[in-house]
Amino acid sequence: MTKKQFAVILFCTIFFAFLGGIVSNSIFSGDPVTAQEQPQEKAAPRAGIQEYLLKENLFIGLVESGKFHLLAPRPSSPLSAVIRLTGMQMQEARPPESDELNLEPYEGKAVMVHGHNGGGWIYRAAVVDSGGPLVTALVIKVFGESVNQ
């Protein structure tokens, strides 16, 4: 599967998950206006997406202030939401900072990263894709709030 095909599949998954929430709220309330007026608890992302991301060593997050803020798979605590990315392998005998990825080109965007989670670092990290304004807005809506809010 190419990166472009993967990006299309990811976008469609997020888009239809977002639309599914709107449609189901309208159907169950019987009135689209009522569904929008009722305060709702923030729904957790679908378990299937979380499991897929874990299985494929994929991470979705936002780059804000040059830092990768993990949104999915959902971090265990707010403190573990900021993850650093390095291109080096876990077993290398040098500090991970020596090959840390520069996230400046992705500032303000949603990104998908492939790599291995190593407790505060993602090793062998590679940015698979980044989203424009529409995809970033969908990622925030599906997986969580913007970090600066």
Encode pLDDT of 27-61 as tens digits: 444 444 444 444 454 444 456 888 888 888 999 99
pTM over 0.85: no
**Which pLDDT value is given to residue 109?**
94
Other Cβ atoms within 10 Å of 25 Cβ, number: 15
What does the alpha-carbon distance between residue 146 and residue 149 come to, in Å, rounded to a whole number? 6
CA-derived radius of gyration, the chain:
17
Token pair in block for residue 149: 């809010």
In this structure, what DSSP letter does residue 124 have?
E
What does the alpha-carbon distance between residue 149 and residue 41 come to, in Å, rounded to a whole number? 17
**Which pLDDT value is given to residue 149?**
43
**Which pLDDT value is given to residue 144?**
75
Query: Tens of pLDDT along 54-84?
Result: 888 999 999 999 899 998 887 766 656 889 9
What does the alpha-carbon distance between residue 49 and residue 71 come to, in Å, rounded to a whole number? 12
Q: How far is CA 141 from the centre of its chain?
A: 11
Query: Tens of pLDDT along 88-132?
Result: 998 888 999 999 999 999 999 999 999 998 888 999 999 999 999
* H helical segments located in the chain: 3-29, 32-37, 47-55, 133-143
In this structure, what DSSP letter does residue 57 have?
T
